[in-house]
Chains A and B, each alone.
Chain A
């Protein structure tokens, strides 16, 4: 009986150890700071790291070249903004003024090179969207 217990204990310990190792490795490799564009501009300690930024697409300087699969725009917060250059398929929901999330790194000339661009999609459950729709109807 106790024999089984000891065996189980050993198996348990090995499992716990390996899972914690995996967890630490996983967190390290997937570790991305997630911040608003204002905080990013104000705090330069994040400017050489890979981060995920969210903010609004400035209505002015938006340049989408669908055939080249690029989009350049200013990501703005309330007080600051960062120029972003994105390469890849631009999501359908992307448009000036919408809320987006980009992931990437700042380059030497101060342009945020993004490889991921996600828009906050008009989800089926979004009630803000619902209210907007109702307003539009009225």
Chain B
């Protein structure tokens, strides 16, 4: 019954999307507000249909309706309810369904929030969204139907893949899909603004929230995926440059570049074509990545099938590429830059550098991912490039990015920083020099590690210097304590300080990556009970092999004691191999001891029949914890960027950041007033920039 309802509402959803498409086409052509109203309503109805459809799949999963092929294939009666729900996105059909749901929800939010805009712009945006929504509904109906019924009801399901029975796996895919789905909205807004012929830069400010949300979710999603791979797959790493991983990294990279370059368009009216291309590319990469991973054109350890789904995505990708290119070329006059770059050491210059570096990393990743395809055209056999290829290019470029990040907080718009930059960098540079002297004395001699340490020091300190300068400026005008002033300064510019918090997170993340990739140690041991071995500062002793029975699996575990050589407290670790009842193969459960400085990572490789000998793989990964800490800091920074101002501003105010103060000095009095008003009425950064954009226009 519910299965029928799910399928029928999917059909309904597809037809409704088609209806919304035609209504909005009508509205765009003749400017009919009635048609626009209907187009908007139909998008809301689409959401209702998709929700109904999802609800029926979910209830089939929870109630173990084994008539449904998807339910029978991915769950079993004994599965805990939490995992029954998570099985919603355990398979292809369900995960596409989740993507559709998120897309529908976000489309509705976008349609609702921009309902005050000009008819044509709204109509075009709805038409684009209706097209994407319609595509997903059709995809579900014709290529990945989650409501396929079995001829005979199964007695019990096949169970969920043990690798997926992990809390990280429950949240990792939905987060990625939120990111993918949210990147659709800026694309629709871009096309709408261009087709409607908007000349101003306000709309790009409105895309920022969506880009920020996507970025936040993709970041958390990718990192949770890395964490899952790290603790679940048992090879001791968190990133393998596998095509499937790369597919999620690509839109993240271009999305990161976008967050920087849209600010230049907002503030200076530059980089318009670049942004238009980048917004399109980011959306297209989400689709491309999905195509790549579903089609099997690139060999990956994640084996994928489902050619029909891939064909759907390929055709859709082609269509979207053509639409984006046609609109950008047709409207190229709207995308002319209003200013040109005035100096290298300006904020624009730094943002440009960040963009170039990120795009190079994107291209590297893309080329590496599809290298087997490219090389098979030229060579008799396809060639794959291993992790070395990526690491060789991405590590130096990553360091260059860190370096740009280090000077970023000290730069201003439009004016070459020159002397003030040198002054601001003085303290960070001296500290970095001290680090460079002390580190080798402590035994750190690797040139990459030293470069990373020095640049990381400068990056973190220059954020401090930038903030201190802003606080000093404020204290000249306000009578406040230093703490209040600091809080006001930070709260006065969420975008700036949120962004810098993200940068600090990024630095911590890079420290973790550098530490674990440069100094990781791996060794295999064969031990009898009572026997010990030593690895990089630890002695490990194998105490014995045990067996224990849990709800749906039996585990064989080795009891291993870990003694730090410097005499710290010993730790007991129990790496396991689990034999799930519903799975043909055992699965390894890694035992991990994680500290600020290093992770000790043990895998039980195997044992002989009487348990007198076990094989244990031990990996010492320095600084891995900082990857996750960096990720948390980045996410907090991104959330802070999105939050409205928290403290009430009693005094109409002094400028909150050095960049706006320096702008003030160079601007006529009328603008000064308008900018001062900014502090008072700022509700969100979008409104804020709208005001300053309008006011600064006459000066040009």
A67 touches B304 (CB 8 A): no
Also in contact, A32 and B384, with CB within 8 A (given A19-B360, A122-B161, A125-B95):
yes
Residues in B whose Cβ lies below 8 Å from that of A23: 364, 367, 389, 393
Task: Say whether B396 contacts A22, CB under 8 Å.
Answer: yes
The answer to whether B651 has its CB under 8 Å from any CB of chain A is no
Bound together, the chains give a CA A11 to CA B603 distance in angstroms of 47
B92-A127 in contact (CB<8A)? yes
Residues in chain B near residue A64, CB distance under 8 A? 606
Bound CA–CA A133/B73 (angstroms): 6
Interface size band for A: 35 or more
Proximity string of chain A (46-69) to chain B, C-beta cutoff 8 Å, 1 when within and 0 when not: 100000101000000000111111
Most buried by A among B305, B360, B372, B607: B305
B605–A32 touching, CB < 8 Å: no
- Judged by a CB distance under 8 angstroms, whether B397 is at the interface is yes
What's the least CB distance linking A17 to chain B, in Å? 12
Residues of B within 8 A of A137 (CB): 66, 72-73, 150, 154, 157-158
A78 to B154, CA, bound (A): 35
Interface positions, chain B 284-309, Cβ under 8 Å from A, are: 293-294, 299, 301-306, 309
- What number of B residues sit within 8 Å (CB to CB) of A? 72
Tell me if B234 and A32 are in contact (CB < 8 A): no
The minimal Cβ–Cβ distance linking B363 to chain A, given in whole angstroms, is 9
Give Cα distance in the complex from A7 to B90, angstroms: 52
Kindly identify which residue among A8, A26, A95 contacts B585, using a CB–CB cutoff of 8 Å. A95
- Cα separation A46 to B367 with both chains bound (whole Å): 24
CB of B294 to closest CB in A, whole Å: 7
Residue A121 lies at the interface, judged by CB distance under 8 Å to chain B: yes
B648 touches A (CB below 8 Å): no
Give the residue of A30, A127, A130, A133 whose beta carbon is less than 8 angstroms from that of B388. Answer: A30
Highest count of chain B CB atoms <10 Å: which of A39, A124, A127, A138: A124
In the complex, what distance in Å separates the CA atom of A101 from the CA atom of B73? 26
B4 at the interface (CB under 8 A from A): no
Docked pose: A4 CA to B299 CA in angstroms: 45
Shortest distance from the beta carbon of B228 to any chain A beta carbon, whole Å: 12
B342 in the interface (beta carbon within 8 A): yes
Asked if B164 and A68 make an inter-chain contact with CB atoms under 8 angstroms apart, the answer reads no
B78 sits at the interface (CB 8 A): no
Question: Is the pair B150, A138 in contact by a Cβ cutoff of 8 Å?
Answer: yes
Q: With an 8 A cutoff between CB atoms, is B587 at the interface?
A: yes
A90 contacts across to B, CB distance below 8 A: 605-606
The reply to whether the CB of B274 lies closer than 8 angstroms to some CB of chain A is no
Q: Is the beta-carbon distance between B301 and A29 smaller than 8 angstroms?
A: no
Ordered nearest first, which 6 A-B pairs have the shortest CB separation? Answer: A66-B606, A26-B392, A30-B389, A30-B388, A127-B306, A26-B389
In the complex, besides A30-B385, A52-B384, A89-B524, 8 extra interface pairs with C-beta distance below 8 angstroms are: A11-B344, A26-B385, A66-B605, A90-B606, A127-B309, A130-B73, A137-B72, A138-B151
Q: Which residue numbers of B lie inside 8 Å of A, CB to CB?
A: 66, 69, 72-73, 90-92, 95, 150-152, 154, 157-158, 161, 163-164, 234-235, 293-294, 299, 301-306, 309, 340-344, 356, 360, 364, 367, 371-372, 381-393, 396-397, 524, 526, 577, 584-588, 603, 605-608, 613-615, 617
Residue numbers of A with Cβ under 8 A of B are 1, 4, 7-8, 11-12, 15, 18-19, 22-23, 25-27, 29-35, 39, 46, 52, 54, 64-69, 88-90, 92-95, 99, 101, 118-130, 133-134, 136-138
CB pairs A–B below 8 angstroms (9 shown): A23-B389, A26-B392, A26-B393, A46-B381, A89-B615, A92-B586, A118-B301, A126-B302, A137-B158
